[in-house]
Copies of this chain bind each other. A is one copy, B any other.
Amino acid sequence: MLRVTFLGTGGALPTKTRNPSSIMLNRDGELLLFDCGEGAQQQMMRAKTGMMAISSIFITHFHADHVLGIPGLLQTLSFHGREEPLDIYGPMWIEDFTRLVIALGYCKLKFEVRAHVLIPGEAVEMDDYFIMTAKGIHSVPSLAYAFVEKPRPGRFDRDRAIELGVPVGPLFSKLHRGESVEIDGKVIHPEDVVGAPRAGRKIVYSGDTRPCAEIIELSRDADLLIHDATLAEDKLEWAKESLHSTAREAAEVAQEANVSRLILTHISSRYSDDPSVLLEEAKAVFENVEIASDLLELEIPFMDKN
């Protein structure tokens, strides 16, 4: 299971219906949080995403609308008795930021918060996925993140295995894991019964940024790209000045990167209730696009890209 839940989809100013930025990723029960704007913990309650299983928080940059939910979230996790350490990743300043946040809380947390600075282009490797980063273009140091599953083994050809004389049972798993087996003196190799490795899923979140080559490269062939689309095309100059993207620019990134699906987020308060102009402008460039809304939930299926 790979589920994306939008906890906050607004721009710098929250509105009645859009919280500041925050996105939850649920991979088979492990929760990864990308940005954590004010009110994110209540949105987790409303969306029923859970919060105790958050293993890591990834911060794109330190503007208020992306981070001010962290102190309250930490307090609540502590109240609920969390004891496992929590990893917080972000661009430089994440260590100072974490110290400030803990000082602000004015009470002792019952678990350790471990801050990690990430350099653009650096990856965080986990068991069967990794988080890749790229430099965004914003008014303060900013990272885009890609969640990338490691390739899964190819499909196991059960009929072919039986044909080759492999008895149904544990030897099937052994072959699927990549080990050869011997049956009556004959060696069966994994490639005889297992197809080519299948690509895992890939989700990219741009953070606040101008469109840029780094994020296009990061997004290559992604199943889902979540991109800054703060403004409409008639506000392009303001997008350039404030270092955000227009919806059309986000669509161009999606097209160039050959992603499967695009979700627009960080919607300026001026379009909060009616973002249709953003959708139209993006659709003219890239068809499979939607506007994020608070509590929107998406399941990301495996796609056969071969």
Contact = CB atoms under 8 A, between A and B. Distances in A.
A16 interface: yes
A16 B68 contact: no
Contacts of A106: 62-64, 67, 93, 97, 140
Nearest to A101: B104
Interface stretch (A69-77, A197-205, A230-238): A69-77
Contacts of A41: 14, 38
Interface in A83-105: 93, 97, 100-101, 103-105
Given A100-B100, A104-B101, A42 B64 contact: no
Nearest to A106: B62
A300 interface: no
A228 B38 CA distance: 24
Interface residues of A, number: 35
Interface in A4-50: 12-16, 19-20, 38-39, 41-42, 45-46
A13 B79 contact: yes
A126 interface: no
B79 A75 contact: no
Contacts of A101: 104
A45 B14 CA distance: 9
A107 interface: yes
Contacts of A97: 104, 106
Contacts of A38: 38-39, 41-42, 68-69, 71-72
A42 to B, nearest CB: 5
B68 A64 contact: no
Contacts of A79: 12-13
A103 B97 CA distance: 9
Contacts of A71: 38, 64, 68
A45 B68 CA distance: 18
B104 A100 contact: yes
A76 B140 CA distance: 18
Residue of A39, A41, A62 with highest tally of chain B CB at under 10 A: A39
A72 B76 contact: no
A211 B139 CA distance: 50
Contacts of A104: 64, 67-68, 97, 100-101, 104
Given A16-B42, A38-B71, 5 more contacts: A14-B72, A16-B46, A67-B104, A93-B106, A101-B104
12 contacts: A12-B79, A13-B79, A14-B45, A14-B76, A15-B42, A38-B39, A38-B68, A68-B104, A93-B106, A97-B106, A100-B103, A100-B104
